[in-house]
Amino acid sequence: MNILVIEDEQRVAEMIKKGLEEQGFRISLAYDGEMGKKLALSNEYDLIIMDIILPGINGLDLCKQIRSVLPDCPIIMLTALGTTDDKVEGFDAGANDYLVKPFDFRELHARIRALTKRSQAGNPYSQGFTLRFADLEMNLQTKIVKRDQVVIDLTPKEFRLLEYMMKNPERVLSRTEIAEKVWDTFDSGTNFIDVYINYLRKKIDKNFPTKLIHTRSGMGFIFKAE
């Protein structure tokens, strides 16, 4: 498995490289955003790990640029910035997972395994498959979401969250489950999930009489017409 690590701290980059090579991965290193972009777009990688604070092109812009060309390549952001706002910004840029420094190398390895396993499994739903619940409709091919025939504009992460809820209606979804299944992360300790739930509510519930997203105190969220 080929992994690209984009990290400007050489000591950290070499530590990651050594640890992953001991696990059997083939590692390429880039120490700035420009070189990271060049390597990412000129070679085939199974996964990319990148810092946010990088010389040349910062990690958020770099993630967006790589994601526009490689929409399915798993990306882990590795950074010292760990607030909820930082995580939301990283996910909005296209990251699949977010690991805060300092980190336990075993956790990085576990997240790599989880991401690559999901990537290799592929999408079990055929292209063009349409999800429907109440008056809400989601086309998985065109990425168009409508409620009562009104088109609703969603970010990629909002789309994935709504897709998961529509595939699992009328059962309580815990924050841990959502973190693992939608964000490919084991981190449910911050409230970034609640932030995205609120984003969705404003877009698909606020202007409609029947509410679809509901909070179950102490348990999580449930998607049902109520």
| 177 and 148 within one domain | yes
Q: What domain range includes position 43?
A: 2-121
| 8 and 91 within one domain | yes
| 74 and 99 within one domain | yes
Contact 164, 178 (CB under 8 A): yes
Give the torsion through C-alpha atoms of 43, 55, 64, 154, to 10 deg. 160
Query: Structural domain tally of the chain?
Result: 2
Structure tokens at 190: 């911050």
Angle at 66 between CA 140 and CA 100, to 5 degrees: 95
| 80 and 137 within one domain | no
The last residue of a domain, from among 51, 86, 121: 121
The CATH number linked to 67 is 3.40.50.2300
pLDDT of residue 122: 47
Determine how many CB atoms are found less than 10 A away from the CB of residue 226.
Answer: 11
**What's the pLDDT tens digit per position in 38-73?**
999 999 899 999 999 999 999 999 999 999 888 888
| 76 and 153 within one domain | no
Give pTM, 2 decimals.
Answer: 0.63
| 147 and 113 within one domain | no
| 104 and 75 within one domain | yes
pLDDT of residue 186: 61
Tell which residue, 134, 135, 188, 140, has the closest CA to residue 160: 140
Distance separating the N- and C-terminal Cα atoms of the chain: 47
Distance separating alpha carbons of residues 215 and 218, to the nearest angstrom: 9
